[in-house]
C-alpha cells in the first residue's frame, strides 16, 4: 500500500511521462550515447562513466550517485558516486533503512523527487544524515529518480547541483528516455560484481581452510607412522593396523587439501604463472613427483618407475606448476591402480616438444567417462575403487596447468586393464 508523501515546501514529486518527448538534437544525441554506453558497459564503473560523461551538457549536475536496494528491501546503500569537486562526504557504502524514509515514498509512487533548496530541507528535516552530508559538500539541490526493472525496484539515481533551483520537470522528461536502460544495465553490472566478489570470497575462504588443515593432517600422519614404525616401543598388531588406516585416510585428506589449496591459489591469483627457461624436467619435476607418491606406492606394494633419457630434458615452464601437474598424475596412477603394480612414468623429446606419460595397470575408464576427466569437481564412479576418494580437482588442475604452458593433456584407457595420461609441451630440447 502506498504511503502518502508529506508535503514539504521546496520539494516536488513529478510523474515520469509514459513516453519520452522529443528534444533538441544535442540532447537526443546525448541520450543515444547514454543508451549505447550503458548497454556496452560490463562493469558498474563503465556503465556509470557513460551516465556521468553524457549528462554533463544536458543536466545542471555537479554530482551523480547510485544506490541499490539491498538486504531484502530493508536498506538503501550507495554503490557509486562521483562529483566535479574533490571531497565526497557522502561516500560509498553509506546506507540507511528504507522503511519510513522519504525514498520509500518515491519508490511507492514511482515519481521523481526534486528538492530545490537542500539547506531549507535540512532545517525542516534535521534527522536526515544524508542531506546533512550533501549540504556539507556544498550541494544545494537534487533530483532523485527511482530505478525499476519491470515492476521490480532496483534502487535510486541521484543528480545533485551546488546551485539552488537547478532541476525541474524538463530534466525529469529528459531522463525518462534512458531510465529503464540505465536500471537494467546497473542491475546487471552490480549482480556481476557481487557474483565476482562472492566467488573471490569463496576461494579465499577455501584457501584459508585448506591451509589451516595442512599442518594438523601432517602431524597426524607423522605420529601414526612413528607408532607403527615401533619408535615408541613394542607395537600391538591391531593398533598397527589402525595406524595404517589412519595414515591412508589422512593421506587421502592431505591430497584433497592440496588440490583445494592449489585451486584457491590459482583462482585468487596467488599462484602466478612464472615460466622460466631451462627447467630440468627430469631432476626438477619428475623426481619430485615420484618422491611425492613414494609413501602411497609403498603402502600399496606398488612402485613408480621413471624412464627418461640420460641427457636432461629442458623445457620452458613454471617449475611449481609443473610439479603440481606431474605429482597429481603420478598420485592418481598409484591411487587408482592395482595393488602391487608398476606405475611407469616416461619422458622424451619428439619434434621439439616434451611428451611425458604416466601409465598404470588399473581399472581405467570408458570413452564416455574420459569426456568428464578434466572438468572441475568431476568424479568417476569406478567399480573396485569406491573407497578411494578424491576432490575431483586434481585432473582439472593438471589440464589447466598444461593449458597455461601452451600444451595439452590427453587420456587413454582400456577399461579394466590400464590407463595412461600424456602431457605435451612445446619448446623442449635435450641439454
Rounded to a whole number, what is the distance in angstroms from the first to the last CA of the chain? 80
- Cell numbers at residue 175, please? 531522463
Is the pLDDT confidence value at 156 over 60? Answer: yes
Q: Determine the Cα–Cα distance for residues 130 and 90; give it in Å rounded to an integer.
A: 7
Nearest partner of 274 among 321, 239, 307, judged by Cα: 321
Using alpha carbons only, how large is the chain's radius of gyration in Å?
Answer: 32
Is the pLDDT confidence value at 261 over 60? Answer: yes
Which range has the worst mean pLDDT, 219-228, 256-265, 277-286?
256-265
Mean pLDDT of 70-74: 82
- Cell numbers at residue 301, please? 606394494
pLDDT at 382: 59
Residues 143, 122: contact at Cβ < 8 Å? Answer: no
Residues 141, 164: contact at Cβ < 8 Å? Answer: yes
- Burial annotation 258-285 (CB, 10 A radius, 16+ → b, else e): bbbbbbbbbbbeebeeebeeebebbebb
Higher pLDDT, 336 or 314: 314
Ordered by where they begin, the domains of the chain are 11-194 (3.30.450.40), 273-431 (3.30.565.10)
Mean pLDDT of 383-412: 78
pLDDT at 2: 47
Map residue 201 onto helix, strand or coil: helix
Map residue 159 onto helix, strand or coil: strand
Number of separate helices (H) and strands (E) present in the chain: 12, 15
25-40 and 169-228 are packed helices; what angle lies between their axes, rounded to 10 degrees? 10
Q: Determine the Cα–Cα distance for residues 374 and 392; give it in Å rounded to an integer.
A: 9
Residues 84, 108: contact at Cβ < 8 Å? Answer: no
Residues 112, 144: contact at Cβ < 8 Å? Answer: yes
Which range has the worst mean pLDDT, 24-33, 150-159, 271-280, 413-422?
24-33
DSSP 17: P
For residue 395, what is the enclosing H or E element? helix 394-404
Q: What is the pLDDT of residues 79-108, one digit of tens each?
A: 999 999 998 999 888 988 887 777 887 888
How confident is the prediction for the chain on average, in pLDDT? 84
pLDDT band at 232 (very low <50, low <70, confident <90, very high): confident
Is the pLDDT confidence value at 22 over 70? Answer: no
pLDDT at 207: 66
Is the pLDDT confidence value at 344 over 60? Answer: yes
Is the pLDDT confidence value at 381 over 70? Answer: no
Residues above pLDDT 90, as percent of the chain:
34
pLDDT band at 121 (very low <50, low <70, confident <90, very high): very high
The vertex-196 CA angle with 192 and 201, nearest 5°, equals: 145
Is the pLDDT confidence value at 166 over 70? Answer: yes
Q: Determine the Cα–Cα distance for residues 302 and 270; give it in Å rounded to an integer.
A: 35
pLDDT band at 210 (very low <50, low <70, confident <90, very high): low
Angular region, 116: left φ>0, alpha ψ -120 to 50, beta rest = alpha
Angular region, 335: left φ>0, alpha ψ -120 to 50, beta rest = alpha
- Cell numbers at residue 36, please? 549505447
pLDDT band at 225 (very low <50, low <70, confident <90, very high): confident
Strands (E), 52-131: 63-70, 75-83, 95-97, 112-115
Nearest partner of 55 among 84, 17, 96, 97, judged by Cα: 84
pLDDT at 364: 86
Q: What is the pLDDT of residues 325-334, one digit of tens each?
A: 998 899 889 8
pLDDT at 9: 67
The vertex-136 CA angle with 119 and 117, nearest 5°, equals: 20
pLDDT at 19: 54
Which range has the worst mean pLDDT, 52-56, 73-77, 160-164, 269-273?
269-273
Mean pLDDT of 168-187: 83
Residues 112, 172: contact at Cβ < 8 Å? Answer: yes
Amino acid at each position: 500500500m502506498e504511503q502518502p508523501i508529506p508535503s514539504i515546501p521546496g520539494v516536488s514529486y513529478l510523474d515520469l511521462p509514459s513516453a519520452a518527448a522529443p528534444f533538441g538534437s544535442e540532447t537526443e544525441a546525448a541520450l543515444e550515447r547514454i543508451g549505447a554506453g550503458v548497454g556496452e558497459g560490463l562493469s558498474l564503473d563503465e556503465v556509470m562513466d557513460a551516465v556521468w560523461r553524457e549528462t554533463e551538457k544536458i543536466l545542471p549536475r555537479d554530482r551523480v550517485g547510485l544506490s541499490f536496494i539491498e538486504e531484502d528491501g530493508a536498506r538503501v546503500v550507495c554503490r557509486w558516486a562521483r562529483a566535479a569537486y574533490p571531497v565526497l562526504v557522502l561516500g560509498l557504502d553509506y546506507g540507511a533503512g528504507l522503511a519510513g524514509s522519504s525514498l520509500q515514498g518515491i519508490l511507492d509512487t514511482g515519481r521523481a523527487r526534486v528538492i530545490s533548496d537542500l539547506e531549507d530541507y535540512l532545517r525542516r528535516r534535521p534527522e536526515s544524515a544524508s542531506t546533512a552530508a550533501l549540504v556539507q559538500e556544498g550541494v544545494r539541490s537534487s533530483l532523485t529518480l527511482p530505478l525499476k526493472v519491470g515492476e521490480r525496484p532496483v534502487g535510486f539515481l541521484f543528480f545533485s547541483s551546488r546551485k539552488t533551483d537547478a532541476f525541474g520537470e524538463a530534466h525529469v522528461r529528459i531522463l525518462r528516455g534512458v531510465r529503464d536502460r540505465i536500471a537494467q544495465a546497473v542491475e546487471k553490472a552490480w549482480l556481476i560484481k557481487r557474483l565476482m566478489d562472492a566467488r573471490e570470497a569463496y576461494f579465499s575462504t577455501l584457501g584459508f581452510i585448506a591451509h589451516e588443515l595442512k599442518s594438523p593432517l601432517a602431524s597426524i600422519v607423522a605420529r601414526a607412522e612413528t607408532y607403527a614404525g615401533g619408535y615408541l616401543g613394542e607395537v600391538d598388531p591391531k593398533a598397527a593396523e589402525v595406524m595404517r588406516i589412519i595414515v591412508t585416510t589422512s593421506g587421502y585428506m592431505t591430497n584433497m587439501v592440496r588440490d583445494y589449496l592449489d585451486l584457491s591459489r590459482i583462482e585468487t591469483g596467488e599462484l602466478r604463472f612464472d615460466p622460466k627457461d631451462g627447467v630440468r624436467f627430469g631432476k626438477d619435476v619428475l623426481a619430485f613427483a615420484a618422491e611425492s607418491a613414494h609413501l602411497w606406492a609403498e603402502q600399496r606394494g606398488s612402485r613408480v618407475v621413471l624412464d627418461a633419457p640420460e641427457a636432461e630434458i629442458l623445457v620452458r615452464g613454471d617449475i611449481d606448476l609443473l610439479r603440481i601437474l606431474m605429482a597429481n598424475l603420478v598420485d592418481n596412477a598409484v591411487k587408482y591402480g592395482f595393488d602391487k603394480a608398476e606405475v611407469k612414468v616416461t619422458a622424451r623429446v619428439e619434434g621439439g616438444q616434451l611428451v611425458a606419460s604416466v601409465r598404470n595397470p588399473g581399472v581405467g575408464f570408458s570413452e564416455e567417462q574420459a569426456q568428464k576427466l578434466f572438468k572441475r569437481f568431476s568424479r568417476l564412479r569406478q567399480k573396485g575403487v569406491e573407497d578411494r576418494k578424491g576432490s575431483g580437482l586434481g585432473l582439472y588442475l593438471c589440464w589447466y596447468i598444461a593449458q597455461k604452458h601452451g600444451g595439452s593433456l590427453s587420456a587413454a584407457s582400456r577399461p579394466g586393464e590400464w590407463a595412461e595420461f600424456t602431457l605435451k609441451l612445446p619448446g623442449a630440447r635435450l641439454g
